[in-house]
Amino acid sequence: MNLAGMAELGSGWKEQVQPALLASLLLLLCFEVALRVRSPRRTRSPPGPFAWPLLGNVMQLGELPHLTFCRMAQKYGDVFQIRLGRRAVLVLNGEAAIRRALLGQCAQFAGRPGFSSYRAISGGKSMAFGGYSELWRLHRKIAHSTLRAFSSADADARAILQRHIADEARELVEAFASLSARGRYFDPSLECTVAVANVICALCFGQRYGHEDQEFKSLLGRTLKFGQTVGAGSLVDLLPWLQTFPNPARSLYRSFQELNREAFDFVKAKISHHRRTYDPAVTRDMSDAFIRDIGRLGDGYVEGTVTDLFGAGQDTNSAALTWVLFLLVRYPHLQARLHEELEGAVGRERLPAWEDRRRLPFLEAFLYETLRFSSFVPFTIPHCTTADVTVDGFHVPKDTVVFVNQWSVNHDRAKWKDPHAFDPGRFLDDKGELDRDLAKGVLIFSLGKRRCIGDEFSKVQLFLFTAILLHQCTFLADPAEGLSMGCVNGLTLRPRPFSLSVTLRHRRRQPSASDSGPGIFASTSATC
């Protein structure tokens, strides 16, 4: 979940509040104050800002709530409470508080809010949005082991994954070159999404879609819009009276419902075809493995799992890749240094491979700094307490919604020098090697029982896409455009729209039949 819908609603209310509503708020305020005076607290609740009746703190969140929460933490501490409507929401900031909760009391913080919008995602059988239970733990275990089996379990799986990514990187280079030839400067975000989504499609469905496939690109564009509306769906869950009259949150909630159905219908059609052609003796792809192993959990779990992987994987990984391209054109001197490192470590006779990462410390440092600096997943999907719990001496009741502010960890001045500056060098030690202990301090995939199951898969994908694109291309910003460091808030944070052009670097030799190592394109296209 994100809070972009809340910010949009807040700005609308400031201009459209009616006298009758103000009178109602005043009466509710008096009523709530009276209740608090007559019912003194027996336990110590987390501190927090004053919450208005009916709305709570919605109006205070702003366009970028993760920044609002960082400011609130300076006043109330790393553990504080806000209200959305009548519902209390615990906010966790800072590495120490987040670790004490998600690792020290992992089961108690592993729940998900019982929002009706969450129950609709992935046909109601979502692993990412599903509640914490024995069934959920089994569901997650099978999904995690299956993803690992098709991406990193052994040398063969790693080689196949690398081949998929290398193929998509080649196609992406060709798409970029074609767009540059036609119009010189272009927005790369949708092409990045197609490339990343195709890796998931290859693993799940055994097929890919061309960059010229407008139907597929339209679907992905709508899926990105889903990320901007899911937060608004949760706002309607918290403030159900918003459904009774026209307002931005109701409109976004209806868009969320439609987009959710479209994504799920796309996956259902693919799984239906897999079921009709399924042979238990042959596992063609992850969908077959899910039919074999997750199908026994009940109807809809296969479709729900694949929808989770398809939606979350392409949204987060394409956001990361878009940030990489933005930062490459924003800091051309860093791009030049990366080109130099790749020339020395890899050369022109082959493409970079995952096994090269130890010889590409500045590239790894650049990627970790991209994850830290962008914090493109500023919040985890909201957690929910599964039992009464105590955090830093504060009593938190069961079923309390919990926001985990990952941004606060990645921009903590006590942990990072000049955290708002983009500096890959911070991850290099005195010998110029990657400081892996410091790199582990970047929080982007959450912690504990709700940690993202695709974290290693995402790291491999981001490294290979970036390495191959840099190996093949030079990226140039549009000089007529100012590169704003602002962002667009959705399920992920993305750079504001920007344009670039691509110049192909030295052509490498054509691959021969003897080129069987990782990172060599299967195609003999001269583009790369």
87 to 82, 174, 250, 398: CA distances (angstroms): 9, 50, 19, 12
Q: Where are the beta strands (DSSP E) in 63-124?
A: 79-84, 87-92
493-495 and 487-489 as β-strands: parallel, antiparallel, unpaired?
A: antiparallel
Beta bridge partners of 474: 503
3-state DSSP call for residue 202? helix
What is the biggest distance separating any 2 CA atoms in the chain, rounded to whole angstroms?
82
Tokens of 73: 């933490």
Neighbour-count burial for 29-67, b at 16+ CB within 10 Å, e otherwise: eeeeeeeeeeeeeeeeebebbebbbbbbbbbbbbbbbbb
Q: Are 527 and 504 in contact (CB under 8 A)?
A: yes
385-391 contacts, C-beta under 8 A, 24 or more apart = 385/90, 385/108, 385/109, 385/111, 386/107, 386/108, 386/109, 386/110, 386/111, 386/132, 387/108, 389/105, 389/108, 389/109, 391/46, 391/79, 391/90, 391/92, 391/97, 391/100, 391/101, 391/105
Q: Give the per-residue SS3 of 204-257.
A: HHCCCCCCCCHHHHHHHHHHHHHHHHHHHHHHHHHCHHHHHCCCHHHHHHHHHH
Q: List all residues 6 or more positions away from 103 whose beta carbon is below 8 Å from its beta carbon.
A: 447, 448
Short-list 84, 76, 86, 87, CA closest to 46: 76
Known binding residue 528? Answer is no
Tokens of 280: 């238990």
- Main-chain dihedrals φ then ψ at residue 54, nearest 5 degrees: 75, -55
H or E segment and range at residue 396: strand 394-396
Q: Are 112 and 118 in contact (CB under 8 A)?
A: yes
242: left (phi over 0), alpha (psi -120 to 50) or beta: alpha
3-state DSSP call for residue 375? coil
Q: How many CA atoms lie within 13 A of 193 on its CB side?
A: 24
- Distance of alpha carbon 229 from alpha carbon 248, whole angstroms: 10
Q: Are 76 and 68 in contact (CB under 8 A)?
A: no
Reading across the β-sheet that carries 79-84, which strands appear in turn?
79-84, 87-92, 401-404, 383-384
432: left (phi over 0), alpha (psi -120 to 50) or beta: left
| Binding site, annotated residues for heme | 452
| Binding site, annotated residues | 452
